[in-house]
Amino acid sequence: MADKKITALNALAALSTDDLFHVVDDPSGAPTNKKITATNVFNKVPTWLGFAQTPQALTGAGTADVTSAITNCTSSAAGQVVTLAGGVQGQIKIICHIALSNSGTVVLTPPALDGGSTVTLNAVGDSVVLLWNDAAWIVIGGNSAVVA
């Protein structure tokens, strides 16, 4: 295998905790080839993690996608319904109410919600952080979100 380029190796479809990453340690000084397990990579990230994609912008009623981490909602009427499909195990989704006119509210209606059936965001700055677990969204945080 020493005679293969990394780009010529077979692709891996799933990552296991004991899989190895190739690391070049101290590349600007005395570079050395080393290895690290996937577990150690993800347990020892040396800095903060952020969401790279642009948030979904949703004006009025509609569907919050499950392909972006954040959906920013602008409401223009009371009780605007925003639907949210089911996610994948461990997925986190953040919904924020960022602007309104005419006393608008956002009513989130996911297909399955532990502890209720709707989440209402009544004012600008209200938000909800959801986790998809065992076939339902679970509210794990937010600001002034009302679950009913």
Amino acid type, 135: A
Q: For residue 50, is it within any domain?
A: no
Tokens representing residue 20 in the block: 């190895």
pLDDT at 128 (0 to 100): 97
Same domain, 71 and 127: yes
Same domain, 60 and 38: no
Q: What is the pLDDT of residues 100-111, one digit of tens each?
A: 877 788 999 999
Question: Using an 8 Å Cβ cutoff, are 131 and 140 in contact?
Answer: yes
Alpha-carbon span 71 to 64, nearest angstrom: 6
Same domain, 38 and 60: no
- Model pTM score: 0.73
Same domain, 64 and 120: yes
Same domain, 101 and 33: no
Same domain, 38 and 62: no
Question: Using an 8 Å Cβ cutoff, are 142 and 127 in contact?
Answer: yes
Domain encompassing residue 16: 6-43
Q: What is the pLDDT of residues 88-139, one digit of tens each?
A: 999 999 999 999 877 788 999 999 999 999 999 999 999 999 999 999 999 9
Same domain, 71 and 143: yes
Tokens representing residue 17 in the block: 């905790």
Query: How many other CB atoms sit within 10 Å of the CB of residue 123?
Result: 14
pLDDT at 63 (0 to 100): 96
Name the β-bridge partners of 32: 25
Tokens representing residue 64 in the block: 């919050």
Question: Using an 8 Å Cβ cutoff, are 92 and 69 in contact?
Answer: yes
Same domain, 67 and 128: yes
For the chain, the domain total comes to: 2
Same domain, 131 and 79: yes
Amino acid type, 75: S
Same domain, 134 and 98: yes
Same domain, 84 and 137: yes
pLDDT at 1 (0 to 100): 54
Q: For residue 1, is it within any domain?
A: no
- The average pLDDT across 20-47 equals 89
